[in-house]
Amino acid sequence: MAASETSNGTTLRHAFGNVLSFFILILIGVLAFSIRLFSVIKYESVIHEFDPYFNYRVTQFLTKNGIYDFWNWFDDRTWYPLGRVIGGTVYPGLTLTAGSLWWFLNSLNIPLSVETICVFTAPIFSAFTSWATYLLTREVKGAGAGLTAAALIAMVPSYISRSVAGSYDNEAVAIFALIFTFYLYIKTLNTGSLFYATLNAIAYFYMVCSWGGYTFIINLIPMHVLLCIVTGRYSSRLYIAYAPLVVLGTLLAALVPVVGFNAVMTSEHFASFLVFIILHVVALVYYIKGILSPKMFKVAVTLVVSIGLLVCLAVVAVLVALVASSPTKGWSGRSLSLLDPTYASKYIPIIASVSEHQPPTWPSYFMDINVLAFLVPAGIIACFSPLSDASSFVILYIVTSVYFSGVMVRLMLVLAPAACIMSGIALSEAFDVFTRSIKFQLPGLLVPSQVDAGETSSENTVSQNEVPKTDKRADTLKERPSRKNRKKEKEPVEKPSIKSQIEKRLLVLPFEGSILAIFLLVLLGAFYVVHCVWAAAEAYSAPSIVLTSHSHDGLHVFDDFREAYAWLSHNTEVDDKVASWWDYGYQTTAMANRTVIVDNNTWNNTHIATVGTAMSSPEKEAWEIFNSLDVKYVLVVFGGLVGYPSDDINKFLWMVRIGGGVFPHIKEPDYLRDGQYRIDNQATPTMLNCLMYKLSYYRFVDTDGKGFDRVRQTEIGKKHFKLTHFEEVFTTHHWMVRLYKLKPPKNRIRGKTKKSKSKSSSTSSTKKSGTKRNPWH
């Protein structure tokens, strides 16, 4: 009777726990969504940054023209005169997700605009990411750790920075796909279910569609499989978890146009194939071991291992032959920059020029993951007790993500989920120890005279008024049974319970210390929440296209970017071409609807180098380069008046380096004075006469009479000069965006005779023949 009551109580407790967990997960999802809405509340519903504007433009095209036109779309508004095939050069996961969501809501007669769907896609998927983190952590260490990890990732600043409302970038859905793929892999590893293995391959396919970071998955999982094989943890569940993922996942990945045959032809994928072969060799060895005698097994193992080695060597030889012809040995530039942090700065300056590709500083770790950095080591230790296949995977995940985040600050985004999982495990284990310590010592505090070994060893549910009778009942239970079979039944039941009580007793901490530790953990969590809310509200909510600053006279809003793009849209011809540095290409195409020379896709280094060379050249040579590209307007971002640091003058050295990498006459030392980059009166003549300097500082001395640059904190060197080949057509209110028009070539003087015309043309031709030929014609 007592056993049935105990089982009913346990069932009721589990049911209540499941319902409570469900409602907590709903609240975590609401928290993850709402904490990312500060940008909409403080500013407006607007797309952020640069890349999201291209994704928004592509989504508009998809919803208007359909999926087939999207796959075959040739965009002639970008990379003039080359153009770009959108369907074959874009990861379509984000676009298809937002387009499907827009179609679904409109089919329900909820008429939301495409822009609104794009703005709120990232907050919606952040809730999904929290739930996926709960599922993954529950498979590793239980529901308590899962709920804690889900709450942590809902607020972690590193993830908020890429999923705030308006941040319509690939990472908005890719992090969810990453965590969900890992969850399905661990679920398959724990259950050995082929159903979950199939779902895992489909989730991996969605990740491939969403982000180029899918190569992290297809390398991390083989590393874990190899680790399990080396440590003697091979099982049929491991085979089911990995083999279908490689076969189905690779076939599905090859269906994505931007990936195609790269799924089997590039070095990023070769590790998965090699581990796939090793796994089959090990599986064959285990199978033979079960059906052969020990003597025959030794012979068979020798044969299988030798054949397996020959196959592996043959595969390796084929792979080496495939990649030997490539100068990068089959690796992409970004992958090589991860494996060798100095590679990009040496050979590919276009990658090194991106700010998010720089190594992070120590303060950025505290900013992006805050107190989680101190909880991660405790979580790693907790995963070793006991060590399972699932816990070894998350240990491998955190170790690799820490390395990659140290190489590239953008990959702090990959570290954040791993840090939340480890911190959730650490906090859950800590709360478990401290609350158990309090629970075991609480009856003793209520009745101090009855604290003895007999009371602590009995864990039966006893009412509070029956606590003093525990000793007598224990004596009567020992004396009452007179039959031998009762004693035999009771002994094996009581011994494990006493042993388990002793083991739990060893983990009991002092009552006051447990109370203090829980208070400190709650205080730590409160500090984390305050920091995350501040980061979401202040640090990561401001869209880069609308800037704000606080001063003694209130809040100032700088809307210069949209002001400039609106001017371009209303005052230029539809077919006019606009030249700028590649950072602003996506925004110019999406907001001004004008053709650009380069944009943020950065697929053609020579084209970008041509623009960089033009910006680094004197005015006349720059005019010739831009005129050969049919450019009508040049856009320059300048922050010297208001103190905006991310302007083109601060990016200018990267223009010089990228241009000099293709056109050798552009040399970086020509723009430096004693190795220092200067724009004051100590600047070099090459710097003071280049187009970027002139377009940035033209008429700048008229603002304050001195020409003081607030970003560089110095007066400019060359203050009074005129433009001969460019004319200023528009400068925004705060001088942050400046637009210049190329002057047309000088017209011939009318009224001259044919003879004079021919004479002038002959003289001009002789002059041209005497000058250096322009290499861009």
The answer to whether 312 touches 321, Cβ cutoff 8 Å, is no
- The residue to which tokens 């827009």 are assigned: 102
The Cβ-side half-sphere exposure at 712, using a 13 Å CA radius, reads 23
Among 64-78, 495-509, 730-744, which is the least confidently predicted range? 495-509
What digits encode the pLDDT tens for the residues 199-244? 999 999 999 999 988 999 999 999 999 999 999 899 999 999 999 9
Segment 375-387 shows an average pLDDT of 91
pLDDT at 344: 60
Please tell me the distance from the alpha carbon of residue 279 to that of residue 285, in angstroms, as a whole number: 10
Q: What is the mean pLDDT of residues 167-177?
A: 93
Residues linked to residue 554 through DSSP beta bridges, in sequence order: 551
Give 270's pLDDT tier (boundaries 50, 70, 90): confident
Helix (H, G, I), strand (E, B) or coil at 689: helix
Q: Residue 516: pLDDT band by 50, 70, 90 thresholds?
A: very high
Tell me the percentage of the chain whose pLDDT exceeds 90. 56
Find the mean pLDDT for residues 619-636: 94
pLDDT confidence of residue 750: 53
- Note the pTM of the prediction, 2 decimals: 0.84
Q: In this model, does residue 553 exceed pLDDT 90?
A: no
Q: Is the pLDDT of residue 740 over 90?
A: yes
Q: pLDDT of 24-60, one tens digit each?
A: 999 999 999 999 999 899 888 889 888 899 999 999 9
Contact 316, 274 (CB under 8 A): yes
Nearest to 319 by CA among 329, 305, 304: 329
Residue 213 in 3-state DSSP? Answer: coil
Supply angle C-alpha 723, 728, 732, rounded to 5: 140
- Average pLDDT score, the chain: 83
- Report the pLDDT averaged over residues 547-556: 79
Predicted pLDDT of residue 15:
83
What mean pLDDT is predicted for residues 273-279? 91
Q: Cα Rg for the chain, rounded, in angstroms? A: 33
Q: In this model, does residue 22 exceed pLDDT 70?
A: yes
Ordered alpha helix ranges (H), 447-510? 453-457, 470-479, 484-506
- Smallest CA-to-CA distance from 34 within 112, 105, 126, 141 is with 126
Determine how many CB atoms are found less than 10 A away from the CB of residue 108. 8
What pLDDT score does 228 carry?
Answer: 94
* DSSP bridge partners of 85: 74
Going by pLDDT thresholds of 50, 70 and 90, the confidence category of residue 484 is: very low
Q: Are strands 554-558 and 708-709 parallel, antiparallel or unpaired?
A: unpaired
**pLDDT class for 330, splitting at 50, 70, 90?**
low
pLDDT at 503 over 80: no
> Which of 10-19, 327-336, 655-664, 709-718 is the least confident region?
327-336
- CB-based contacts of 537: which residues, under 8 Å, 6+ apart? 38, 42
Task: Give mean pLDDT, residues 531-557.
Answer: 85
Look at 464-478, 573-587, 588-602, 649-663 and tell me which has the smallest mean pLDDT.
464-478
Per-residue pLDDT, 498: 55
Q: Cα–Cα distance between 92 and 86 in angstroms, integer?
A: 10
> Which amino acid does the sequence have at 759?
K
At 548, phi and psi to the nearest 5?
-135, 160
pLDDT value at 386 more than 60: yes
Question: Dihedral of CA 702/706/711/717: which sign?
Answer: positive
Question: Which whole-number Å values give the CA distances from 621 to 455, 632, 680, 722, in the listed order?
Answer: 93, 15, 23, 16
The C-alpha atoms of residue 48 and residue 565 are separated, in whole angstroms, by 15
Q: Name the phi and psi angles at 739, rounded to 5.
A: -115, 135
> Rounded to whole angstroms, how far apart are CA atoms 485 and 200?
52
The pLDDT of residue 410 is: 85
